[in-house]
Amino acid sequence: MDTFKTPKAKRPRKSQFTPTKEGATPVKIPASPFMEKLGWGTAVSVYRMERSPKVGCIRSPWAIKRVIHRNSTSRKSRASSGNEISGRLCKEAEILKSLDHPNIVGFRAFTKSVDGRFTLAMEDGQRSLLSLIEERLEKVETSLLPVGSHDDSGNTGQLVPDMPFPAWAVLRVASGLASALRYLHEEALLMHGDMKSDNVLIKGDFDVVKLCDFGVSLKVDKNGEALDGEQYIGTRHWLPPEVISLEDEEIEWEEGDEPLPKVNTQADMYSYALTAWEMLSLKFPHCPTTEDEEEENASNSFEENLLLGTRPPFPEACLKDPSYVPVIELIHCCSDEDPDKRPTSEQAVEWLKLIEASGAMKKTVEEQENVMPNANGVQTSESPAPS
């Protein structure tokens, strides 16, 4: 009889992912075709990764942000662009790992594949605010008939210029984002630097609001001013006026001139206001919405540039509806061209607490209060917000 030998354990396969640096998390992420694509940004794609459940435990999905390869005629150009995007993703992972706040998307893992692409795994935020805005706009456009046409019942259709989100929804988003900004500005000593609807995540029926995308965030001091070497990048149509002015001053600045003014956390408050404004207008600030406007603006880009850094006009429907008064007051104050006149994130949080206490953030009409404070704390009579 042959002598029994204990079988040797097979050598475990080496993971295809390796930590990018000390502190990185080695984790196996599926190939992109095996995940649901949620969206994309500058040279990055975002997917939803469903995770296998463990015994006695249900595991929530992750949002996966991955650098994508770009085709380029120049290998040097492609490498330079890839290094910049990868650097931003590394920076975002480092920042995100250090943050802990209910209104900021949670860090899950950071790794690198064998082909050199960086991958950031985050808490799944379900939907971006931008996708909700686009979906609402599409429903509005498809449900309306052109002026002069008739539906099956013979009624003449009318074009409605806007169909904003209800006031309670805008206020919930504003409250969650203000809380996130206060944490960043006062505790983490960071400026987000790129506030817009695309960087806001929504769970449920505006039940949870989370801020994401910290790839261009700036470090600030205790006074809220950007540290030396930090550059505000942002996105063009959300740029605050002081950043636009600073860009012009940097072009003309020469050695020996007085130091240029520094951008501070109040820049976030301007972009914060325009993010709330997007929910009212269902469009990007200072952007054309029709082909005619696009053609007109293409031949007159100078006038369009003059609008950047200003407060865009409010939709007429919101100005006529009393339930939007606190929303309009908040946007109006936070989009002031003078950063010193804008409320801080702390002041916005405190004011929104008063609004929430008035019942204006409750969904159903029956739960709405008829009295809510305005920006100066004065009680004003309001009709219930639409559900």
Dist. CA 132–CA 275, nearest whole Å: 13
Which DSSP string do the residues of 63-77 spell out, in sequence order? EEEEE-----S-HHH
CB 121 within 8 A of CB 110: yes
Best CATH choice for the domain 32-124 from the list 1.10.10.10, 3.30.200.20, 3.90.1150.10, 2.30.42.10 = 3.30.200.20
Best CATH choice for the domain 130-381 from the list 3.30.420.40, 1.10.760.10, 1.10.510.10, 3.40.50.300 = 1.10.510.10
Number of residues in the chain: 387
36's enclosing H/E stretch is: strand 36-41
Q: Assess whether 194 carries a catalytic annotation.
A: yes
What are the residues whose beta carbons fall under 8 Å from the beta carbon of 38, sequence distance 6 or more?
46, 47, 48, 63, 128
Domains 32-124 and 130-381 share a fold: no
Among candidates 229, 175, 228, which has minimal Cα distance to 348?
175
How much is the pTM? 0.75
- Which of 194, 213, 268, 336 is an active site residue? 194
Dist. CA 123–CA 208, nearest whole Å: 13
pLDDT one digit per residue (tens) for the chain, 387 residues: 566 565 555 554 443 334 444 444 556 666 665 566 666 566 677 767 776 666 556 667 778 787 776 554 445 444 455 577 788 889 999 999 999 999 999 998 888 766 667 888 888 867 899 999 999 998 887 776 454 444 444 444 444 556 899 999 999 999 999 999 999 999 999 999 999 999 999 999 999 999 999 999 999 999 999 999 899 999 999 999 999 988 776 666 666 666 677 899 999 999 999 999 999 999 999 876 544 444 555 545 656 677 888 999 999 999 999 999 999 999 999 999 999 999 999 999 999 999 999 999 998 554 444 434 444 444 444 443 333
Which residues sit opposite 109 in a β-bridge? 121
What are the sequence ranges of the domains in the chain? 32-124, 130-381
